Structure 1
Amino acid sequence: MASPVLTDAFIDSLESSVAELDRAETLPPACYTDAGIYAFEKEALFNHEWLCVGREDWVKEPGDYFTTQIIGEPIVVARARDGVVRAMSSVCQHRGMLVAEGKGNTRGFVCPYHHWVYGLDGKLVNAPAMERTCDFDKKKIRLPGFKVETWLGFLFINFDPDAAPLTPRLAGVAEALAGYDLANAESATTMTGQFAWNWKVMFENNNDGYHASKLHQGPLHDFVPSELATFPEWSAQDAGFLRFNGTLHPDASFNPTQRAVLPVFPKLTELDRGRMTFANVPPTLSLVLTSDVVIYLILRATGPETMEQDTGILVAPGASQNPGFPHRLEMIMTSAGKIIAQDMHVDARVQMGLRSRFAPRGRYSWQEGAQGQFNQWLVPRYRAAWNRMKSKTATPVAAE
């Protein structure tokens, strides 16, 4: 869908959002509401960036699979008999029916419509009553596959077969998170929700330190004051960025005691235990890391003003074996749930405000450093995609 908003002048106007933070403006409201810009983002971002789809421990055993979707693309992730994790379109290559839903363990994927059968590697195994179809060769048919990469236990896919590897561009983030040993962390719970706001509204709220001491003021959050936020430098080559937020005491955690109630991740340094860490891998993954719990948010855009999100909890290996684990986790989830409810109320109202003719391009506080970093990730990708689109539509000059 073409957008009347999307012009050279609009793209040029984004440069003010990547200025130094004390001079920068927020993104134009149309970036959060316009259907044409969302369509443009599919090419500018989602078709070429690494997208988090889940955790590797969701497919521990051969035959394990789960399904998900992003920008309207149905996806199935499965561990095949050879132990390799593969990500594929879950669209049957016959008539478009989905061959998999939900999650589970299976020997293969059977399209419920006409019973075409695909292996865990995506290859077509059987297609009933196709022997009279001219030039039909089942060996040439398979579910379209995507590149897959695992980073700290998180599974990422890329629709672009020529995409550069992700892990080298997250070396700085991985180093900062090393003490959590996330690849071996234990999954405690996961939930999925649908939301009526743009994915960037959610992503920006997740990494915004400015609002924390205001919106979340009270005993569940006062021990993480906004004025103790810091924003490590990052480069344009990096695929993610960080925010650290000092705490008023070590091992601070979101529960009524304000301190860790589950086993602390055993490899954390004293520095790690004196702060909370927020890690962002746009456009799909945000992490909130405390001494005893890691909250991860997997964002999945579904439209210009809608999205889904998988929210999960990671704990130290073996933490769930503690007899008091369910009750202690409930303490954390109840407190975190109250904070999340405040955030979601704001997200919904922000989306409403961004639709208004009076919606501004505002200015940033120093406590919004991660927003500036997000803009520095986003805007160059917008500009590059815009230039690609213009070059494809440019009229060739006739040779004389």
Structure 2
Amino acid sequence: MAALPNQEFIASLNTSAIDLADAETLPPACYTDAGFYEFEKEALFFHEWLCVGRESWVAASGDYFTTRIVGEPIVVARGRDGKINAMSSVCAHRAMLVAEGAGNTRMFLCPYHHWAYGLDGKLVGAPAMEKTCNFQKEDHGLATFKVELWQGFIFVNFDHQAAPLAPRLAAVTEAIAGYDLASAEGEKPGEPGVFAWNWKVMFENNNDGYHASKLHQGPLHDFVPSELSVFPDADPADAGFLRYNGTLHPDASFNATQKALMPVFPGLDETARSRMTFANIPPTLSLVMMSDMVIYLILRPTGPETMEQDTGVLVAPGASKHPSFAYRMAMNMTAASHIIDQDMHVDGLVQVGLRSRFAPRGRYSWQEGAQIQFNRWLVTRYRETWDRLNGGARPVVRAA
């Protein structure tokens, strides 16, 4: 078989982005092929806005955390001026990582040769470089990235020519305004989950209304029936899309009582409290939104068939101060964990199936409307990138 992607393969993607009633799933190679994964990095991850964490993770000057997406080590830090900076953590000298983990610091000191960088990535110290010809410190800082804040989430973009994020999220922002996520509370997640499947398998599962009443059948999920799925229209040029799922009673939540146990987000209207909202900002952020709790997933591919994920929870302002908060949260997470375990088991088996020579390009149910929105978002970028790399004008990204 010819190396992927090629012109024939790109053309074959069109049938995954047509009307839902006629569409078929993406080719299995989109989830397994190493060559396609490399193409996908250029098509998506090197030019789209990538969620890396929450603004609260760098609350004070000097706070920083590190992360990694498609193999690129990133450090995010709040400067003395209060500005949040994002940069490569790869030293400009010999490629040693200058930061690991998270903490608070005055500067980033490369442990290998003690090159020192400010919280904005600028090189401020380079020992014993005085005999090096034409060496100027201002030419050797860390590669920096664009930063934008949205709803309290930090997004970065490796492409300094990228258009702003917020205008392309107007519909999503309006739909979830009642949650006021910028003011929501939540602890920084612990160690990321490490999974043996393609990132799109996870993203699709989280957006799939079809499986809710099948895989999750039982008292912990029956109050969110698949037949109440709604898929608002979305433009593939937008940066995100939505899925709503009506509930059988207001303020439904994942726990044995089926009702919200914690304070409801105060800005939610009656309509929002009678459904669950799934907000998606591919390729890295997916939100599961209930009246009293928001679960967020930050997806970070590590290879064509592997990924890591930061999973966090947000609650209404002040909710965590309630005396019984920890117990109520434990009830929610016990139920959510049971549902998540079912999803994880399926995701792993789907990836096994995608490797099979008999893996199909299947057909969709009307309850999979979010999948076609995702496909259109993907295929639009795949086609644009293929055209660009084969005669278009826009250059491959080079970080500053």
Q: Normalised by the shorter chain, which TM-score bucket? A: over 0.9
Can you list the C-alpha shifts for 1:43-68, whole angstroms capped at 9, x where unaligned?
11111100110111111110000000
The TM-score, its normalising length taken from structure 1, stands at: 0.96
2:215 and 2:116 map into 1 onto residues whose CA distance is 52
1:138 and 1:38 map into 2 onto residues whose CA distance is 36
TM-aligned CA distance change 1:97 to 1:293, over 3 Å = same
Gaps in structure 2 of 5+ consecutive residues:
394-400
Identity between Structure 1 and Structure 2 (%): 71
Report the aligned-residue RMSD: 1.3
Three-state SS of the structure 1 residue aligned to 2:189 is: strand
The 5-angstrom pairing of residues 257-296 of structure 1 reads: 257-296=257-296
- Residue 308 of structure 1 corresponds to 308
* 8 Å contact kept, 1:3–1:35: no
* 8 Å contact kept, 2:168–2:237: yes
Can you list the C-alpha shifts for 1:65-122, whole angstroms capped at 9, x where unaligned?
0000111100000000000000000001111100000111111101111111111011
Can you list the C-alpha shifts for 1:168-203, whole angstroms capped at 9, x where unaligned?
000000000000000100014524111110000000
- Residue 96 of structure 1 corresponds to 95
* 8 Å contact kept, 2:187–2:312: yes
2:240 and 2:139 map into 1 onto residues whose CA distance is 38
2:188 and 2:5 map into 1 onto residues whose CA distance is 41
TM-aligned CA distance change 1:325 to 1:188, over 3 Å = farther
- Residue 80 of structure 2 corresponds to 81
- Residue 348 of structure 2 corresponds to 348
- Residue 230 of structure 2 corresponds to 230
- Residue 37 of structure 2 corresponds to 38
Instruction: Using the TM superposition, give the Cα deviation of residue 236 of structure 1 relative to its aligned residue in structure 2, in angstroms.
Output: 2.7
Can you list the C-alpha shifts for 1:289-324, whole angstroms capped at 9, x where unaligned?
000000000001110000110000000001110010
2:100 and 2:188 map into 1 onto residues whose CA distance is 20
- Residue 361 of structure 2 corresponds to 361
Instruction: Using the TM superposition, give the Cα deviation of residue 139 of structure 1 relative to its aligned residue in structure 2, in angstroms.
Output: 2.7
Paired AA for residue 221 in structure 1: H
- Residue 63 of structure 1 corresponds to 62
Paired AA for residue 246 in structure 1: G
Paired AA for residue 122 in structure 1: G
1:66 and 1:204 map into 2 onto residues whose CA distance is 28
Can you list the C-alpha shifts for 1:194-246, whole angstroms capped at 9, x where unaligned?
11100000000011110011001111100100000000111233111000000
Paired AA for residue 47 in structure 1: F
Instruction: Using the TM superposition, give the Cα deviation of residue 6 of structure 1 relative to its aligned residue in structure 2, in angstroms.
Output: 1.7
Does 2:245 align with 1:245?
yes
1:392 and 1:218 map into 2 onto residues whose CA distance is 52
Can you list the C-alpha shifts for 1:251-296, whole angstroms capped at 9, x where unaligned?
0001111100111101100001000000111100000000000000
Paired AA for residue 258 in structure 1: Q
Paired AA for residue 100 in structure 1: A
1:290 and 1:83 map into 2 onto residues whose CA distance is 32
- Residue 131 of structure 1 corresponds to 130
- Residue 329 of structure 1 corresponds to 329
Instruction: Using the TM superposition, give the Cα deviation of residue 333 of structure 1 relative to its aligned residue in structure 2, in angstroms.
Output: 1.0
> Deviation above 3 Å: which 4+ runs of structure 1?
none
* 8 Å contact kept, 2:250–2:275: yes
* 8 Å contact kept, 1:3–1:37: no
Instruction: Using the TM superposition, give the Cα deviation of residue 334 of structure 1 relative to its aligned residue in structure 2, in angstroms.
Output: 1.1
Higher mean C-alpha displacement, 287-296 vs 332-341: 332-341
Instruction: Using the TM superposition, give the Cα deviation of residue 3 of structure 1 relative to its aligned residue in structure 2, in angstroms.
Output: 6.4
* 8 Å contact kept, 1:3–1:34: no
1:23 and 1:234 map into 2 onto residues whose CA distance is 18
Does 2:170 align with 1:171?
yes
- Residue 204 of structure 1 corresponds to 204
* 8 Å contact kept, 1:188–1:320: no
* 8 Å contact kept, 2:299–2:307: yes
2:2 and 2:160 map into 1 onto residues whose CA distance is 28
Can you list the C-alpha shifts for 1:116-173, whole angstroms capped at 9, x where unaligned?
1111011111111212222222232211100000011111111111000010000000
